[in-house]
Structures are given as structure tokens and as C-alpha cells.
Amino acid sequence: MEPLNALVSLANFMLIPAFAYGSQLALGALGITLIYSILRFAHFAHGDTMALGTAAVIGGTFFLQARGISIDPLPTAILALPFGIVVMAGYLLAADRLVYRYYRKVKAKPMIFVMASLGVMFVTNGITRLFMGVGETRFEDGQRFIFTVRDFREATGLAEGLALRNAQALTIVTALIVMVVLFWFLNRTRSGKSMRAYSDNEDLALLSGINPERVVMITWVITAILLVLAGTLYGLDKGFRPFNYFQLLLPMFAAAILGGLGSPIGAIVGAYVVAFAEMGITYAWRRVFTYLMPEGLEPESMMQLLPVDYKFAVTFAILVIVLLFRPTGIFKGKVL
Amino acid sequence: MSLTARDLSLFAAMGAVLAMVAMFQSPQLAVTILNMSLISAVMALGVNMQWGYAGLFNVGVMGFTAVGGLAVVLIAQPPVPEAWAAGGLGILLGLMLGVATILAAVIVYKRMAPGTLRGIALFAVLLGGYLLTSLVFGPAKQAVQAVNPASEGYLGGAGLPVILAWPVGAVFAAGVAWLVGKVSLGLRSDYLAIATLGISEIVIAVLKHERWLARGVNNVTGIERPVARPIELQPVPWVQSLAETLGWSVSQTASVVSGLGYSTLFIIVLGLLIWLAERALNSPWGRMMRAIRDNEVSARAMGKDVTRRHLMIFVLGSAVCGLAGAMMVSMDGQLTPGSYEPLRFTFLIWVMVIVGGSGNNWGAVLGAFVIWFLWVQVEPAGRWFMEIVTSGMADGSDLKQHLLASAAYMRLLTMGVALLLMLRFAPRGLIPER
């Protein structure tokens, strides 16, 4: 029985990656939930706009790298983030101006908005691939590890090692900062309060002199920031492939629905639940149990509930359970 | 609700464009486009039933077509006796245990009073069932996959005529749709969209990774075809004489004849479907569906069970998509799970429906033809466009290479722009609902 080794092994292969993945999902799901509560539709272009934003950051990174600018030990992509955010905010505002605004004006049904976001998705997808192709692009540079498996073993003398990658630590820290700032913004600033008012009761908000177009604009800009951060962190962590970003759509929506569509805190909680469930169910628990069980009783199989290829099935199962038992999500949705 | 002169002229124009492809590009290409258009038209009909009649948003078309495709393998391929001997029973038993576990869990949930005890019982049933299932299923699966893995490694099919697979594919898709619809209908309308998005990813994941079922990413090839293959037609005397009259090579003639054979089959299916769909749409049932779509509240006030009707139309539409999937696999003669992409199999079909005219069956068909034609032709057009754009650049420059290589993605852009423009300026489509 070596519970400490079990814990370290668990942290290394499951807890830390799941926490990082959950943070990336949370940033994405926050965007979905914000758009849902202000613009009142399910934004299907989310994954692909995320890819485009990341592509802009990658472009900026390559530009900086070519000029020898870097901020070692941090990845150069951090420096390129503002550029990506500006590009993405411009893109989303343009999309709103050219596509969504008209449907707001004619008060179209939500499904028409979704359809329009499908069109935006196609266009965005095409633009991203035009720039990046379909293959994998890696843009992580700087120091790769904060500490490696070997450092950890030498420091602690345990048999199991623990590594913390730069991208993971960065993800977790950034996500926490962004969440705190976002909640401060929504609860304390005038713009944030007007967003909440607008989401809560559109007519009353209009009566009290809130400019809806301004609220919508702020929403898109915030979404752009969240998208670019989420996409860049995901790309630093796992490499950039446009199709993977499209596939993030399902876990992001599952997270937002699980938490309650329209509830930011719900989106965050939902994202971590989805991430830990996905990783936990597709993780081979054998190592952990080998340390935990008394000698002679070690497990022989991999102790993996489902193969990794089925991580979407886990997300889907969560979604089904939520829809069956609590369709409004954990935090009753539609309150910002 | 018959076709007007304007609609007929649109169809005639489409026919003329295809004839021009046959003349200026090649007859084979024209037949290939025609066949895929017909299949797409069937898919678009299915989506149109869901969206146009009932306003249901299905983003899982890919999953339903893939399930239909699976039916072709399970029906038409010869069984693999060694694999059945090695683990067939184990797999069947495992699947049954899995289903039994879920049923037992449902019974426990329904029968026991809410509380901690129920939670514990539910957990015990699920865990026990899972362990038992994997104990039976795992080894059987390994055994089956070990049988001659280079060419088999799966259970094979029933060895029945391939045409039978078409209705079976529809039934498969209907089954999956029933499960999804049961869970997600009756809630907020976007939930169905997200649930279908999920199920389609899962169907593809299962097809890719369950090798005992249909060889996964190793693909099943050489499936029996309903129409003679070109190579079998080449020695046939009338094909040879036809080639002589037309002045084409024998191989070209044979592939055109074979392709037209499929076209005939597909036209029969499509015609039958449209006939049925038009009859249904103009019956009291169709009026009820449209009433529900246009105003759920008042339909409910009239005593209509909206959720049940939605489930019904969702299952029907998905079945049609499954049928199309089966038709496509039997035309290709192979099932390649790796080639199912949501952009191509779900969202493109949506563009077809929107462009054609949602709510109108003929519109969906026309949309399928127009969009599939564009989908095929935009790529060469994009390359041509890029060549003009890059003609001023130095040969071998990176930018030029990159732009030429990315011409293929032009069509995603084009489709997106087409969808947005139609939605904005002609939301009722080419042939509007009447």
C-alpha cells in the first residue's frame, strides 16, 4: 500500500491534465453561455471561431519568432494574444454587423440565428483552413516544463513522478484570472450590470435606457477574449488542428447545458465536471490501484472503463443525464 | 401542390447544366454528379421533413447516414464462420447483457422510492452490469478481431441481397433517432441540435473503433453491388455496340451504363419518397404538422400531442437519411468510417435544404442538385481562381504554393456564403413552400 505514489500517479496522468482541459472548456463554455443569455441563441460557430482566433495568434507568434522576439520561459504566443483578440473581436463584430444584426431587427426565431451561425461556421472554417491547412501546427516554445518527472522524483524520492507542463500551469492560472475578472466585470461595472439586466429582462432593460446594440457589442468583445484565450491555451497544450476545435463544440455545449445555459458559474462548474468525467472514465486506473491494493491483489486488467476514443460518449452521456433529469442544469439556467 | 412552370424551368436548367458537364467535361463525371445528387436529394428530403414540416433542427445527419451505411455491411457481406465460432456468441451475449443492465437500471429507478438506497442500488446495478458485460464482451471481441485480421477480423454480415439493406438501413437510423428524440424532444429546441451533434460523433466513433462490427478504420470493401460493375459490363455485346455508335471507348461506356443503372434505382426510390411525402404533407396529418410548426401553443390547445408528433417526424426523417446512407454505401461498394465528416454529411445537406426551399420537397431536391454540383465544381474553379491570383508571383514562392494548396478549402467558404446569402435575401429558398 503506497497511497502517496497512487496520488502522484493519479495527479500526473489524470488530475492535472483534466484540470487544464476543464479550464480550457470553461473559457469556451463561458462564451457560449454569454451569447446564449444576451443574444439568445446557441452559437454553433463557437468551435470554428475559436480555431480562427488561435490561427491569428499563431500567425502573430510566427511573426514575432521570425524577428527573434520571445519572452522565454513563457511561450511567445502570450505576446501575440492581444493581436489575436483584436482580430477576433473585429471578426465577430463584423459577423454580427453583416449577419446577426438583421435577424435581431426582424426578431427572427432562435433557430434562424442558429442557422445563420452555421453559415458563419462554414465561412470561418474555410478561412481557417485557407490559412492553416488541416494538418497539425505546433507553436509552443519557451520552456516546456515547470518541473519534469525526473525533477520531482529526485526532490521527493517517490517511485512515481509528477510533471507540470508550462502550458498546463499557464492554462490554469489564466483561466482563474479570467474568471475572477469576468465576475468582477459582470457584478461591479456599469457595462456588466447592463448586460445582466438585458439578459434578465430585455424590455425592462430597454425602458431603463440601456442601449441594446452596445450590450451586444460588449458581449462579442468579451466572447472574442474568451475564445482566443481558450483556443490558444488549448493549442499550446495539445497542438493546433482545426478539426479538433470543431469537435470541442460538443463538450463545450455539454458543459454550458450541464451548468445551466445562461449561467456563467454553471458553465465553469459544468466544464470541470465534463473534463473530469471524460478523463476519469477513459483513464486506465491500473497504476493507481496497483499502489492502493494490498500485495497480491493487484489488478490484472487496465481498469479502464472505456477506451479513450469514446470520450465523446462520456460527454454525451452527461448531456443525456442532464436532459433527462434536470434540463435546466445544475444552476437553473437563464440568469446571468 | 404541384410544380409550377417556374419550378420546372429550374429543374430543366439544372438538367441542361448536367448535360453540359457531360459534353464538355466527361459523361462519367456527369453521371457521378447525378448519382450523388440523387442520394443527397434523399438526405435533403429527410432533413426537410424534420425542418420544413416540423421545425426540428437535426445536426446529426452524418450519424444517421453512417448507421444506414452500416446496414449494408451487416446485410450484404458474407458471414465469417471462423469469427462467429471464435466469439460470435460471446458478442451477442455481451450486447444483451449491456441492454439488460440498462433496463435493470431503468426498472430500479422507476420502482424504488427516491433516496440514498435507490442511489446505491442504481450504482450497484450499473457497476455489476458493466463488469459482467465487459467480462463476456471483451474476450469475445478480441477473439473475433484476431480471426484473419488482414482481410476479415469481423463477424461479417448476413449474406443477403444488398437491396434489402436499404430498408434495413432506414430502420437502423430510425432506432437511433427514436432514442435521441425520446431524450431531447419536448425540451428547449436547441437541445435536440446538440444531442444530435453528439450522437453523430458517437456513431462515427463506434464505427471507427469497433472492429468486430465492420472492421473499423480498416474499411469493408468489395461489398456486393445492386448493379453490374463497369468491368463486368465491358464484354457485354450491347455495351460494345453502344460504345461504337457513340464513339466512346468501351470502358467509358461501361462505367456510364453502370452509373445510369444506379441512377435508375435512385430515381425510383426518390420518386417513391417524394410521392409519399407529398401525399403526407397534403393530408390532415401534414396540415397538423405544419400547424404545430407554426404555433405550438395553439396546436397543443387543440389537443395535439406536440412532443409525440415531433418524435414521429424526427424518426421518419432520420429513417430517410439512413436509407440514403445505405444507398450511398451500396453505390460505393465500401464502408469507410474515416470519410464521414460533419461538414460534408451534415452541414452541406442543411445548405441544400435552405437553398432549395425548406418546407417544399421539390425545393429540397433541387437544392441537393444545385449544391452538390457547386460542391464538385467549386474546387476546380477555386484552383483556377488561385492560379490567376498567383500568376504574377514568382514560381516556387511559399505564398504561391500555399495559396494553390488551399484552393480546396474555397468550397467551404463558398457554401457558407451561399447559405448566409440565401438565409438573408431569399429565406424561402429557390422553390418556396406553398
State the CATH number of the domain containing residue A163: 1.10.3470
Q: Which of B131, B155, B179 is the last residue of a domain?
A: B155
Place of cell 442500488: B121
pLDDT mean over B110-119:
84
* Residue B19 clears pLDDT 50, i.e. is over it: yes
Residues B248 and B129 in one domain: no
**CB distance B7 to B431 below 8 Å:** yes
CA distances in angstroms from B318 to A170, B43, B62, B314, listed in the order given:
44, 9, 10, 6
Q: Which three cell numbers stand for residue A34?
A: 454569454
Q: Describe the crossing of helices A166-188 and A16-38 by its angle, rounded to 10 degrees.
A: 30
Question: Does B330 map to a domain?
Answer: yes
pLDDT tens column, A107-117: 888 888 888 99
pLDDT at A336 over 50: no
Within 13 Å and on the Cβ side, how many CA atoms surround B158?
12
CB–CB contact A254 B194 (8 Å): yes
Cβ distance of A126 and B343 shorter than 8 Å: no
Whether residue B183 is contained in a domain is answered as yes
Same domain, B40 and B121: no
Averaged over B244-257, what is the pLDDT? 85
Contact (Cβ atoms closer than 8 angstroms) between residue A94 and residue A218: no
Tell which residue, B134, B154, B137, B133, has the closest CA to residue B220. Answer: B154
Residue A101 has pLDDT above 80, yes or no: yes
The answer on pLDDT for A127 being more than 60 is yes
What tens digit of pLDDT does each residue of B321-362 get?
999 999 999 998 888 888 888 888 888 899 999 898 888 889
Based on the domain organization, do B151 and B222 belong to the same domain? Answer: no
Nearest CA in chain B to A100: B424
Q: SS3 string of A206-248? A: HHCCCCHHHHHHHHHHHHHHHHHHHHHHHHHHHCECHHHHHHC
What type of residue is B167?
P
Q: What is the C-alpha to C-alpha distance for residues B213 and A90, in angstroms, rounded to an integer?
A: 48
Cell digits for B86? 471464435
pLDDT band at B377 (very low <50, low <70, confident <90, very high): confident
- What is chain B's mean pLDDT, rounded? 87
- Cβ contact, residue pair A115, B413, below 8 Å: no
- Interval B286-299: pLDDT, tens: 888 888 888 888 88
What residues of chain A lie within 8 A of the CB of B201, using their CB?
Answer: 247, 250, 312, 316
Say what percent of chain B tops pLDDT 90.
26
Residue A18: per-residue pLDDT: 92
Do residues B26 and B92 both lie within one domain? Answer: no
In angstroms, the separation between the Cα of residue B141 and the nearest Cα of chain A is 14
Sequence length of chain A is 336
Which of B188, B189, B201 minimises the CB distance to A250?
B201
Which range in B176-190, B306-320, B403-417 is most confidently predicted, on average pLDDT? B306-320
Beta carbons within 10 angstroms of residue A59's beta carbon = 17
Contact A51, A246 (CB under 8 A): yes
- pLDDT of residue B36 exceeding 60, the answer is yes
- Nearest-10 Cα torsion for A300, A301, A303, A309: 160
Domain that holds residue B90: 80-155
Contact state of A319 with B194 under an 8 Å Cβ cutoff: yes
> Is residue B434 a part of any domain in this protein?
no
- In this complex, which of A111, A126, A319 lies closest to B416 when CB atoms are compared? A126
**B208 within domain boundaries:** yes
Q: Are B41 and B143 in contact (CB under 8 A)?
A: no
Residues B129 and B244 in one domain: no
Cis-peptide into A294, omega within 30 deg: no
Q: What is the dihedral of CA A32, A35, A41, A46, to 10 degrees?
A: -40
**From the list B57, B184, B413, which residue is nearest A114 (CB)?**
B57
Tens of pLDDT, residue by residue over A210-246, are 888 899 999 999 999 999 999 999 998 888 988 889 8
* One domain for residues B103 and B206: no
Burial of B86 by CB count in 10 Å (0-12 exposed, 13-18 middle, 19+ buried)?
buried
For residues B47-75, give the mean pLDDT.
Answer: 90
How distant is the Cα of B409 from the closest Cα of chain A, in angstroms? 5
**Closest Cα of chain A to B125: distance in Å?**
15
Q: Which residues of B touch A305 (CB under 8 A)?
A: 130
Contacts of B132 in chain A (CB under 8 A): none
pLDDT at B432 over 70: yes
* pLDDT at residue B122 in the model: 87
Please report residues of A whose CB lies closer than 8 A to that of B61: none
d(CA B187, CA B317): 19
Range of lowest pLDDT (B255-264, B386-395, B406-415): B386-395
- Radius of gyration, alpha carbons of chain B: 24
Looking at the structure, do residues B161 and B174 belong to the same domain, yes or no? Answer: yes
Q: Mean pLDDT, to the nearest integer, of B236-241?
A: 85
**Residue A335 pLDDT grade (very low, low, confident, very high; cuts 50, 70, 90):** very low
Q: How many domains does chain A have?
A: 1
Count CA atoms within 13 Å of residue B262 on its CB side. 29
Q: Predicted confidence band at A312 (pLDDT cuts at 50, 70, 90)?
A: confident
A-chain CB neighbours of B416 within 8 Å are 119-126
Q: What is the pLDDT of residue B215?
A: 84
Question: Which residue in the set A310, A312, A323 is minimally distant from B195, CB to CB?
Answer: A323
Among residues B105, B131, B155, which one ends one of the domains? B155
Chosen from B178, B197, B296, B383 to mutate, greatest number of chain A CBs within 10 A: B197
Residue B131 located in a structural domain: yes
Average pLDDT over residues A89-109: 91
Residue A185 pLDDT greater than 90, yes or no: yes
Q: Write down the ipTM of this complex.
A: 0.84
Residues of A in contact with B190 (CB under 8 A): 41-42, 110-111, 114
- Smallest CA–CA distance, residue B52 to chain A, in Å, is 12
pLDDT above 90 (res B137):
no
- Is residue A332 a part of any domain in this protein? no
Q: Say whether A144 sits in a helix, a strand or coil.
A: coil
Distance from CA of A115 to the nearest CA of B (A): 8
Work out the average pLDDT over B81-103.
Answer: 87
Domain extent at residue A58 = 3-325
pLDDT band at A133 (very low <50, low <70, confident <90, very high): confident
Q: How many domains does chain B have?
A: 2
For residue B381, give the CATH number of its domain: 1.10.3470
pLDDT value, residue A1: 62
pLDDT tier at A25, thresholds 50, 70, 90: very high
Contact A121 B342 (CB under 8 A): no
- CB-nearest to A309 from B209, B414, B417 is B209
> What residues of B are in the A interface, CB distance below 8 Å?
55, 57, 59, 130, 183-184, 187-191, 193-195, 197-199, 201-202, 205, 208-209, 342-343, 347, 350-351, 354, 405-406, 409-417, 419-420, 423-424, 427
B432 domain residue, yes or no: no
Integer angstrom CA distances of residue A249 from A285, A308, B197, B421: 28, 18, 9, 24
Confidence of residue A53 (pLDDT cuts 50, 70, 90): very high
- Answer whether residue B68 is part of any domain: yes
Query: How many other C-beta atoms lie within 10 A of the C-beta of residue A99?
Result: 19
What does the mean pLDDT of chain A come to?
A: 87
Question: Quick one: pLDDT at residue B395?
Answer: 67
Cell readout for A227 is: 475564445
- A165, containing H or E segment: strand A164-165
Domain-ending residue, one of B126, B155, B184: B155
CB-CB contact of B198 with B340 (8 Å): no
Where do runs of H (alpha helix) occur along B50-188?
61-76, 81-83, 89-111, 116-146, 165-184
A126: nearest CB among B130, B410, B420: B410
Instruction: Please give the helix or strand (H or E) that residue A107 lies within, else none.
Output: none
Nearest CB to B198 within list A42, A119, A319: A319
A42 interaction partners in chain B (CB closer than 8 Å): 190, 193-194
Chain A neighbors of B350, CB-CB under 8 A: 115, 118
Give the three cell numbers for residue B200.
Answer: 453523430
Q: How far is A129 from chain B (nearest CA, A)?
A: 6
Mark whether B84 and B43 lie in a shared domain. no
Cβ <8 Å between A102 and B424: yes
pLDDT above 70 covers a percentage of chain B that reads: 99
Q: Which of A271-275, B120-124, B229-233 has the lowest mean pLDDT?
A: B229-233
B135 exposure class (CB count in 10 Å sphere: 0-12, 13-18, 19+): middle
Contact B194 A122 (CB under 8 A): no
Interface test with A, best of B203, B296, B412, B415 (most A CBs within 10 A): B412
Cβ atoms of A255 and A23 within 8 Å: the answer is no
Euclidean distance between CA atoms A282 and B26, whole angstroms: 50
Asked whether residue A334 is assigned to any structural domain, the reply reads: no
Q: Are residues B139 and B263 in the same domain?
A: no
Instruction: Note whether residue A198 is domain-resident.
Output: yes
Domain identity same for B102 and B188: no
Pair (B85, B75) in one structural domain = no
- Closest Cα partner for A192 from A173, A225, A214, A224? A214
Whether B402 is in a domain gets the answer: yes
Any idea how long chain B is?
Answer: 434
User: Would the pLDDT of B152 be above 70?
Assistant: yes
pLDDT single digits (tens) A141-173: 777 788 888 888 888 878 777 888 888 888 999
Residue A178 lies in a domain: yes
pLDDT value for B188: 72
